[in-house]
A and B are shown apart, each in its own frame.
Chain A
Amino acid sequence: MIPNLSEIFSLTAPEIVIAVTLILVVLVDLIWDKNKVPAMFTAALGLIVAGVVILNGMPETGMIPNNYMVVSDKLGLYFKFIIVLTTLFILLFTYDSKEIIESHLRQGEYYALVYGMVLGMFFLTSAVDLILIYIALELLSLSSYVLAGFSDKETRNSEAAVKYLIYGAISSAFMLFGISLIYGLTGTTNLYGVNEVLSTTVVNIYTLGFAVILIIAGIGYKISAVPFHFWTPDVYEGSPITITAYLSVASKAAGFALLIRFVSITFIDHVKADGEWILNGAFDWQTILIVLALLTMTVGNLSALWQKNIKRLLAYSSVAHAGYILLGVAVLTNLGLVSVMIYFAVYMMMNLGAFYVVMLVANKTGSEHISQFDGIGYTMPYAGVALTIFLVSLTGLPPTAGFIGKLYLFLALLDSNMLMVAFIALLNTVISLYYYVRILKHMYLKNVAEMPEKIETRGYSTVVLSLLVVPVLFFGIYWTPLIDFAKYCVEFVIK
C-alpha cells in the first residue's frame, strides 16, 4: 500500500527539509563564489529548521504505514535530533578549524557533502526497507569518503580516504549480498514483511544466519564494532578533526538507530508488559550481540592504552564506547533502549567536546601527539579544565553526565540479571581510567618547572567550548529532564 502524497510529506518532513537545503547550499555557494559565509549560514539555518520540524513532529503518535519503506516514530526522531545537534556543533567547529578554513574555495562542497551525510543518516534512522537502508548507507558512506580526505595538506588525508573507501565498499557489498539472500528467503525487503515470514514459516537457519552475519558486518562497520573496527584508528587519525568528531558521533548514532530497528523489527515476536523483548526464535541474537559488545569494549580499551596520538587514542576510546552502547542494545529490553538513548546524548556532548579541545591544541601546535599536551593545563587554562571535565565524563565518574549514562546502562544490565556482563563492563571502565588519566598527567604534571606562557584562545572558541561543558556538568547534577525525554521517546511499535 502506498501512502498518498501528503502522508509521504509528513513521513519524511525532516528529510525533505535537508534535501531542499542541500540544493540551496549548492546554489548559494555558486552565487557567492568568493565569500563562503552565506553557504555556512544557509547550512546552519537548514539544520535549525530541520530541528524545529523534528521537535514539532514528536508529540504526534508514530506513523507506520502498512508495508511502506519509511516510518516516522519517536525513536527515529530522537536519533535525528541527536544528528542535527551534532551537525550544528560540527559547523561551529568548522568555523574554527584551520584545516577546513585553509581550503577556502572548496568550503561550499564541504557543506554540501556534510548535508549528504545528514540525509543518509536521516533515512537510516527511519528506513524499514533493506534496500532503502542500503542506499542510505551508501549515501552516507560516499559523502564521508570524500570528507575524510577533504583537506589536502598532508598525505595522511588521502590515505585515510582510501582506507575508509576500500573497507566501506567491501562491507557494504557483503551487506548487499546478505540482503539479497534475505530477499530470496522471504520474498520481500520490508523489515515488517520479513518479520511476518520469519514468524510464520521455518526457513533454513544456516542461510538466514549467513545473511544476517553479512548484514551485521555492514552495520558493524558503521558503528566500528570489533571485528569490523580495524579502519577506525587510521581513518580517525587521518581525517580532518571536524570530520573525525562527526564520524565518531553522528555516523555512529545512525548506525545504532539502524541496528536497533533491524533487531527490534525483524526478529521480535512481542514485547512483554515489563518491557522485555521476546524474540521469535529464528536466531539467537542476544548471545551474538553480547559477545560483540564485550569484544568491542575490551579491544578498544586495551588498544587505547598504548596510543601516543590523541586522535588515535580517542578513536579507540570511541570503539570502546560503541561496546558499552552495544551492550545496551543487547539486553533487549525497553530499559536497555532507554539507557542506549541516554548514553548517546551524553556521549555526543563529551566526545565532541574532547575532539574540540584536541582541535584547538592542534590549531596552535600543528600536531595531535600527546607530548603537545604537556602543560596545556597552564598555557590554555580553560581548554585544560574543559578537557579534564570531558575525560572524567568519558570515564564515567560523577559529577558529570558520563556517570549518568553508565549508571543507567548498568541498571539495565542488572535488571536483566546479567551480573557477569556488568562486571566485565565495570572492569573495562577501570582500564579506561588509566589512559584518560594519562592525558591529564601530560596536561598538568609535565613542563611545570618553567614559567608557563599563556596561549591566547579566541572568545569564539571559549563560547563554543562552554556550550559543551555546561550541559555535561548540568546533566551530571540534574539529570531528570534527560531521562524523561529518553523515556518519552521510547515508543515501541509492534504490529
Chain B
Amino acid sequence: MNLYDIIFYIFAAITVVSGVITVTSKNIIYAAFSLLFTFFGVAGMYVLLGADFISIVQIIVYVGGILILLLFGVMLTNKVTSTDIKSGSVNVLPAVIGVALFAGALISIIIRTKWTETPGEIPLSTAGTLGSVLLNEYVIIFELLAVLLLIALIGAASIARRTKEETN
C-alpha cells in the first residue's frame, strides 16, 4: 500500500461519505454543503487519474458555479429562518433495500467485466493535448456547446423577464 493508494482511499471516503450525507440529510442546507465535499472528492479522483485540467474545471465550474446556483435555489425557495427548510423523503426503507440491491448487482457486474487495461504514461500536463483535440476532431461539439450556452442564457433570461412583465 503506497502513498497513491492511501490518497485514493481518502478521496474515495470523502466522496462516498459526503455523497451519503447529501442524499439522506433531512436539512437541505447540509445536503448542499456535503455535495461540495463530494465534488471536491471527485476532483481529487481526477488528479489521481492524471486529469489535472478536468480537475481544475471541476472545482471552478461545479464548486464555483453549479453549487452556488443550487445554494441560491435553496435560499430563494426556502425562508432560511423558518423551519420550512426540512425536506421530506418518502418510503425510505424499501428504497434503501432496493437501491442497495441495485448497487450490489451493479458493482458485481462491473467487477466481473473484463475492461481493457493497458495504462499508458501519465502526461505532465493535459491542457495542450485537450485543446488541440477539442479544436480538431471535436470542433463540431465545441460549436454546438457555444450555441447551447447561448440558448441557456436566452432561456434563463426569458424566464426571469417574464416575472418582470408580471409586476409591471
Contacts and interface: CB of A to CB of B under 8 A. Distances in A.
Nearest to A157: B162
Interface string A185-206: 1010000000000000001101
Given A152-B162, A184-B115, A210-B109, A8 B140 contact: yes
A70 interface: yes
Contacts of A258: none
A109 interface: yes
A116 B147 CA distance: 8
Nearest to B108: A206
Contacts of B148: 116, 135, 138-139, 142
B112 A139 contact: no
Interface in B44-82: none
A187 B116 contact: yes
B109 A206 contact: yes
B132 to A, nearest CB: 11
B167 to A, nearest CB: 12
Contacts, number: 91
B140 A146 contact: no
Contact of B165 (A106, A187, A206): A106
B161 A106 contact: yes
Nearest to A23: B150
A19 B158 contact: no
Contact of A19 (B113, B143, B163, B166): B143
Nearest to A207: B113
Contact of B154 (A19, A109, A136, A185): A109
A69 B161 CA distance: 37
Interface string A253-287: 00000000000000000000000000000000000
B109 A204 contact: yes
Contacts of A113: 151, 154-155, 158
Nearest to B138: A69
B150 to A, nearest CB: 8
Q: Is the interface of A mostly helix, strand, loop or mixed?
A: helix
B157 A119 contact: no
Contact of A70 (B109, B136, B140, B165): B140
B166 A152 contact: yes
A145 interface: yes
Given A142-B148, A185-B113, A109 B158 contact: yes
A17 interface: no
B154 A123 contact: no
Interface in B119-168: 136-141, 143-145, 147-148, 150-152, 154-159, 161-163, 165-166
A365 interface: no
A407 B152 CA distance: 43
Nearest to A68: B137
Contact of A2 (B114, B136, B155): B136
B3 interface: no
A476 B62 CA distance: 55
A105 interface: yes
B106 interface: yes
Interface residues of B, number: 33
A39 to B, nearest CB: 13
A19 B150 CA distance: 11
B140 to A, nearest CB: 6
Contact of A112 (B139, B143, B154): B154
A323 to B, nearest CB: 28
Residue of B113, B145, B150, B156 most packed against chain A (CB within 10 A): B113
Contact of A105 (B109, B138, B163, B165): B165
B110 interface: yes
Contact of B151 (A143, A184, A203): A143
B147 A132 contact: no
A119 B144 CA distance: 9
Contacts of B156: 146
A149 B143 contact: no
A139 B147 CA distance: 8
Given A103-B165, A113-B154, 5 more contacts: A105-B165, A106-B165, A113-B158, A132-B144, A135-B145
22 contacts: A2-B137, A8-B140, A22-B147, A69-B137, A109-B154, A113-B151, A116-B154, A119-B147, A131-B141, A135-B145, A136-B144, A138-B148, A139-B144, A139-B147, A139-B151, A142-B148, A146-B156, A146-B159, A203-B113, A204-B113, A206-B109, A210-B106
Interface of A: 2, 8, 12, 19, 22, 26, 69-70, 103, 105-106, 109, 112-113, 116, 119, 123, 131-132, 135-136, 138-139, 142-143, 145-146, 149-150, 152, 184-185, 187, 203-204, 206-207, 210
Closest 9 CB pairs of A and B: A146-B155, A116-B151, A204-B113, A109-B158, A206-B109, A207-B113, A139-B148, A152-B162, A112-B154
